């Protein structure tokens, strides 16, 4: 069993990349042909920001929280967090 990595309280910068399945419909497709023109695709989103952490928390729990905040319109079961980087602010 892997050990849980704990993130210490402090101010952090973060960068996150997530991927999730989607359906792509080419632009300017007439409404009558939208279903026929649609095909499965993978969407990617990137975000960065800064936050203050006031208590010790597991890195996985923090990642899950950031993903929920960033992808509130996508089912959490579909989202794959590709990259989550935390660095102390000002480092």
Q: Is the pTM of this model over 0.85?
A: no
Contacts (Cβ under 8 Å, ≥6 apart) of 1: none
- In the chain, what are the domain boundaries? 6-88
Rounded (5°) CA angle 85-72-8: 35
- Report the distance separating Cα 79 and Cα 67, nearest Å: 8
More confidently predicted of 3 and 86? 86
Q: What is the pLDDT of residues 24-74, one digit of tens each?
A: 999 999 999 999 999 999 999 999 999 999 999 999 899 888 888 888 898
- Report the distance separating Cα 68 and Cα 13, nearest Å: 17
Instruction: Identify the pLDDT of residue 44.
Output: 93
Instruction: Identify the pLDDT of residue 4.
Output: 79
Instruction: Identify the pLDDT of residue 91.
Output: 61
């Amino acid at each position: 069993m892997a050990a849980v990595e704990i993130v210490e309280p402090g101010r952090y910068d973060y960068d996150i990349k997530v991927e999730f399945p989607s359906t792509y419909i080419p632009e300017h497709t007439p409404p009558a042909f939208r279903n026929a023109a649609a095909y499965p695709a993978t969407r990617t989103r990137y975000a960065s920001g800064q936050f203050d952490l006031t208590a010790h928390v597991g890195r996985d729990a923090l990642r899950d929280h950031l993903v929920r905040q960033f992808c509130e319109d996508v089912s959490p079961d579909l989202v794959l967090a590709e990259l989550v980087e935390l660095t102390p602010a000002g480092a």
